[in-house]
Copies of this chain bind each other. A is one copy, B any other.
Amino acid sequence: MAGLRAKQKADRNRRILEAATRLFREVGYDAARIEDIAQIAEISVGTFYNYYENKGDILVAAVSMEVEEVLEAGKPIVENPPPMVIDALVALINQYYDHSLFYLSKEMWRTAMAISIQQPDSPFSKRYTELDGRLCDQVSMLIGKLQLRGAIMPGIDTVAVGQMIFNNLNTMFTEFVRDETMPLETLKREVTRQNRPIATMMSSPKLTS
């Protein structure tokens, strides 16, 4: 049996991730102690550290899975966006936002964001940053697609505009998770308002409402 060790490893890894995600959601990140996670996963505290560098790493791992799904959910919209620029932007952005709280609480997002800022060189933070970059690219691609279709004036730097729109929607999402009382609808409404001017200005004249 060549893979006994590998199989045990994969199994332990899964148990740790499940135990941690469950506890983070149930009692919050800070209150979830490594000792508790280890106990639920049926391993020792020391073993936890053979699988993850520190407590934050496992949270960022959970967040990465969620972002990956968000990215997937955005693809069909980039493939076949609504004709009007503002509608296309809003469709993609709201898709992101709707997916964001599926598995993660606001507190988990806050903690993950804090870690990715504070320890930018840890492997999982790099992964988080890379996923953010791919989301940003997706927005730029949507704008590029609209330009090819003729809905956006030619000559505009779609990458620059895409970065600005993404950075804005990202910051607004950060504000959203920082405020435990803000509902998703408020976030969506605000961001839609912020995007309206740039969408209008970019639109080819004949297509502007």
Contact = CB atoms under 8 A, between A and B. Distances in A.
Interface stretch (A15-23, A31-39, A97-105, A158-166): A158-166
B168 A164 contact: yes
A174 B110 contact: no
A198 B113 CA distance: 28
A209 interface: no
Copies in the complex: 2
A129 B179 CA distance: 11
A198 B161 contact: yes
Contacts of A183: none
A202 B161 CA distance: 13
Interface size bracket, A side: 20 to 34
A101 B174 CA distance: 24
Given A172-B167, A198-B201, A193 B118 contact: no
A184 interface: no
A84 B172 CA distance: 28
Interface of A: 110-111, 113-115, 117-118, 120, 129, 156-157, 160-161, 163-165, 167-168, 170-172, 174, 177-179, 193-198, 201-202
A114 B119 CA distance: 10
B115 A179 contact: no
A110 B120 contact: yes
Contacts of A161: 197-198
Contacts of A114: 113-115, 117-118
A197 B156 contact: yes
Contacts of A120: 110, 178-179
12 contacts: A110-B118, A113-B114, A113-B117, A114-B117, A114-B118, A117-B177, A160-B197, A164-B194, A164-B198, A167-B168, A198-B198, A198-B201
